[in-house]
Amino acid sequence: GLTIDGATGLTLKLDGMARLPVGSVQDITFSDEDLHLFGKDGGRVNAPLAAE
């Protein structure tokens, strides 16, 4: 799942993935099956969303 942790200066923790500083994330979008994080440095991370 997606966890937003405010205790450490706001980081995004995605299951099976590294923590990402929220300040480096420019945009977050959702599709039917994925969460897309777009970084200010031009990077992009796709994370699959688990079906409930």
On average, the pLDDT of the chain sits at 70
Q: What is the pLDDT of residue 30?
A: 80
Q: How high is the pLDDT of residue 1?
A: 60
Report whether 47 contacts 37 (CB < 8 A).
yes
Range of the domain at 22: 2-48
- Total domains in the chain come to 1
The pTM (predicted TM-score) of the whole model is: 0.48
Query: Residue 49 pLDDT > 70, yes or no?
Result: yes
